[in-house]
Amino acid sequence: MLTNLQTRDVETLIHPYTNLASFREAGPLVLENGKGVWVYDTDGKAYIEGMAGLWCTSLGYSNEELVETAREQMAKLPFTHIFGGKSHDPAIELAEKLKEIAPMPVSKVLFGASGSDANDTQVKLMWYYNNAIGRPQKKKIIARIKGYHGVTVASASLTGLPANHTDFDLPIKNILHTSCPHYYRFGKDGETEEEFATRCADELEELILREGPETVAAFIAEPVGGAGGVTTPPAGYYEKIQKVLDKYDVLFIADEVITGFGRLGTMFGSEAMGMRPDTMSCAKAITSAYFPVSAVMIPEKIYAAMVDESRKIGTFGHGNTYAGHPVGMALGVKTIEIYQRDNIIGHVQSLLPGFWKHLDTLRQHPLVGEVRGKGLVAGIELVADKATKRAFDAKKTVGAKATSLCQEEGLIVRNLADTVAVCPPLIIKQDEVDEMFAKLTRALDRLEDHVRQAGLRDA
């Protein structure tokens, strides 16, 4: 029986990434407040937010410094824009800070409001840049199967997940997909991880040659995958990929929307994974998700081409109302200040032995086929048969049942098909890590009982 609040929700809202049919019966979990790594529903029940919201609330809930920063900026200058040459100090300061901490040379920063719009902008900039320098055929952008880059028309096209394409008439022209670097699922019998990484790079090169190097502009990748299942490339993968990109003059776009600002134990995931990107998208933890902000960081050669085109056309015809919003910019500055002042990256690194010890223990669970990830993000893939890696029938929705049982235990996680994702706020403490995994283990034990009693392992 739905509560009045749940009924109002069902009758008024469309929920992203939700089975809209079954949701009408189940209704929402309505959250009311949060503090630290904990959130509380309207009945006062406490949950560890084991997904940091949507991979984003790195500093946890109700951080008083961030709340006060937003209040002060709201009182001082609640809104202005940066169109037509206007500016303000928080935007300038955040752009300076991003240039300072970026893992590659950055000339300029282009702000937006979401990871999706940042990656959408990346597509436009690649096309714009190649038009500007006289290469109108070099327009194709290669993403990866099971990669996730957003939901706008262009960024959803980059996303390599069928549900983001089916009946949306996507992907659009000039978007291609290459191999997913997930060894557990796509490695061949007898193939080592290094051989698998080499094959992925070879398949990328074959795709570039098949399409024509003169037509391929860029390659985009997450350092570690997110919504595609926390896919984690094997060691040496990016080094091999980089050689292919260099060989054919293909730019490398790093999608750091999830992995930026400490998640992998470094300021940016590119550093942790040995990537050498040309451009970068970031969002989410840039403000600990307290305000919707994204940033595209670009090198001098792209900026110089933009200046030339602006001179020719009369303007740079791109941007949105909330790009450089003063409240978001002030929050971004304060958030990065906290990361650096409080040594959040050092704190993350101190947690990793305990975090991964729990995950290593879960590898032995009868339902767990693989545990993968890096830093404070992991994917726990549930399988019907550990020996053969046989997956459950998708219609049996085992992953969804796992997250439902976790919620009953007081833990919020997310299932990506039958992979359970864990991505807690970076401020989590060791005792809270222990409690989080205790809740998760209890839920998986209950799930094992459910699977056995319902005969869900039957092929």
Q: What average pLDDT does range 208-224 have in this prediction?
A: 98
What is the 8-class DSSP label of residue 314?
Answer: S
Q: Please compute, for residue 132, the number of CA atoms within 13 A of its CA located in the half-sphere on the CB side.
A: 20
pLDDT at position 100 over 80: yes
Q: What is the mean pLDDT of residues 57-69?
A: 98
Radius of gyration of the chain (CA): 22
Query: How many whole angstroms separate alpha carbon 147 and alpha carbon 160?
Result: 5
Question: Does the domain spanning 4-62+343-454 belong to CATH 3.90.1150.10?
Answer: yes
Residue 240 has pLDDT above 80, yes or no: yes
Burial code (b: 16+ CB inside 10 Å, e: under 16) for 298-326 equals bbeebbebbeebeeeeeeeeebbebbbbb
C-alpha–C-alpha distance, residues 294 and 296, integer Å: 7
pLDDT interval class at 436 (50, 70, 90) = very high
Residue 164 is predicted with a pLDDT of 97
Q: Report the C-alpha gap between 434 and 325 in whole angstroms.
A: 39
pLDDT band at 223 (very low <50, low <70, confident <90, very high): very high
Angstrom distance (rounded) from CA 440 to CA 156 = 31
* Dihedrals phi, psi of 49, to nearest 5 degrees: -85, 85
Taking 80 as the threshold, does the pLDDT of residue 459 lie above it? Answer: no
CB within 8 Å of 278: residues ≥ 6 apart = 104, 218, 251, 252, 253, 299, 302
| Number of residues written out for the chain | 459
- What is the pLDDT at residue 438? 98
Note the pLDDT of residue 231: 97
Q: Is the peptide bond before 171 cis (omega within 30 degrees of 0)?
A: yes
User: pTM of the prediction?
Assistant: 0.97
∠ at Cα 416 (436, 184), nearest 5°?
A: 95
Q: Is 277 helix (H, G, I), strand (E, B) or coil?
A: coil
Kindly report, residue by residue over 243-301, the tens digit of the pLDDT.
999 999 999 999 999 999 999 999 999 999 999 999 999 999 999 999 999 999 999 99
Q: How confident is the model at residue 25 (pLDDT cuts 50, 70, 90)?
A: confident
pLDDT the model gives residue 403 = 97
Instruction: Please tell me the distance from the alpha carbon of residue 419 to that of residue 383, in angstroms, as a whole number.
Output: 9
Residue 1 confidence class, pLDDT cut points 50, 70, 90: confident
Closest C-alpha to 158, from 173, 143, 174, 178: 143
CATH of domain 66-341: 3.40.640.10
DSSP string, 141-189: EEEETT----SSHHHHHHS--GGGTTTTT-SPTTEEEE----HHHHPPT
Per-residue confidence (pLDDT) for residue 328, from 0 to 100: 98
Burial class (CB in 10 A: 0-12, 13-18, 19+), 134: exposed
pLDDT for 106 equals: 98
Predicted pLDDT of residue 254: 98
Token pair 């189940």: residue: 26
**Interatomic CA distance for residues 50 and 35, integer angstroms:** 13
Share of the chain above pLDDT 70, in %: 100
The answer, yes or no, to whether residue 367 has pLDDT greater than 90, is: yes
For residue 7, the Cα-to-chain-centroid distance in whole angstroms is: 31
pLDDT of residue 340: 98
Q: Is residue 244 classed as helix, strand or coil in its secondary structure?
A: helix
pLDDT over threshold 90, residue 458: no
In this structure, the number of other CB atoms found within 10 A of the CB of residue 450 comes to 14
CB 326, CB 87: distance < 8 Å: no
What pLDDT shows up at residue 97? 98
CB neighbourhood size of 289 (10 A): 23
Range of weakest confidence among 24-33, 140-149, 344-353? 24-33
Instruction: Give me the phi and psi of 282, to 5 degrees please.
Output: -140, 160
The CA distance from 24 to 37, in Å, is: 29
Domain ranges of the chain: 4-62+343-454, 66-341
pLDDT in tens, 388-427: 999 999 999 999 999 999 999 999 999 999 999 999 999 9
Is it the case that residue 16 has pLDDT exceeding 80? yes
The mean of the pLDDT values for the chain is 97
Give the up-direction half-sphere exposure of residue 373: CA atoms within 13 A in the CB hemisphere.
29
Phi and psi based region of residue 265 (left: phi greater than 0; alpha: psi -120 to 50; beta: remaining): left
